[in-house]
Chain A
Amino acid sequence: MEQMQIQKFKPDVFIEIDDSFTGVRKLARVIGDGDLYLDLDSDDATPLPIYTALNPQEAGNILGWGLYLVDQHPDEHAKFRALVDRLLATDMGTLERNRAAHWAFLNHNYDFAAAVAAASVQTKAVMEGRAKMDRLLQNAGVAN
Chain B
Amino acid sequence: MSAQLESARLDAQAGILARFGKAFDQAQVALEKRVADPMMRKMAAARIALEQAVLRTALEKGVKPELVAGALTAAKPEQQADLVRHGQAALARAYGVEPEMLVNVLAAKVVPVEVPKGFASNPEFDKLIDGARAQVTTLMQASYMERGKFVDLGDRANVTELAKSSSVQKERSELAARVAFIDSAIDAAVTKGAVGAEAAKMLKERVEAFIFEPRPPQSLQYSEKFKTFYASEGKVLRAEVMKEVRQVTQSKTIQEIGAKVDAAMKQEPMRRGPELER
Q: Which residues from chain A sit less than 8 Å from chain B, CB to CB?
A: 10-14, 31-32, 41, 57-72, 74, 77-78, 80-81, 84-85, 88-91, 93-94, 97-98
Contact = CB atoms under 8 A, between A and B. Distances in A.
Interface string B120-145: 11010011001101101110110011
Contacts of B2: 91, 93
Contacts of A61: 130, 133, 214-215
A97 to B, nearest CB: 7
Nearest to A87: B130
A85 B138 CA distance: 12
16 contacts: A10-B215, A11-B119, A59-B217, A62-B130, A63-B212, A64-B214, A66-B138, A66-B141, A68-B216, A69-B137, A71-B144, A74-B141, A78-B141, A84-B134, A88-B131, A93-B123
B165 interface: no
A49 B133 CA distance: 28
A72 to B, nearest CB: 7
Given A11-B119, A59-B218, A70-B226, A85 B140 contact: no
Given A41-B123, A70-B137, A74-B144, A58 B130 contact: no
B45 interface: no
A67 B137 contact: yes
Given A12-B121, A93-B123, A62 B137 contact: yes
B141 A77 contact: yes
B134 A81 contact: yes
B95 interface: no
Contacts of B121: 12, 94
Contact of A32 (B6, B119, B138, B206): B119
Contacts of B133: 61-63, 66
A77 B121 CA distance: 27
Interface residues of B, number: 36
| Interface SS majority for chain B | helix
B195 interface: no
B144 A63 contact: no
Contact of B216 (A60, A90, A91): A60
Closest 9 A/B residue pairs (Cβ): A66-B137, A63-B133, A91-B3, A71-B226, A94-B126, A60-B217, A58-B218, A62-B133, A64-B216
Contact of B140 (A62, A67, A91, A94): A67
Nearest to A59: B217
B153 interface: no
B130 A98 contact: yes
Contact of B215 (A13, A41, A80, A81): A13
B84 to A, nearest CB: 32
Given A93-B123, A97-B130, 15 more contacts: A11-B119, A13-B215, A41-B123, A57-B217, A59-B218, A61-B214, A62-B137, A63-B212, A66-B136, A67-B222, A68-B222, A70-B226, A74-B144, A77-B141, A90-B3
B223 A71 contact: yes
Contacts of B101: none
B189 interface: no
A88 B3 CA distance: 9
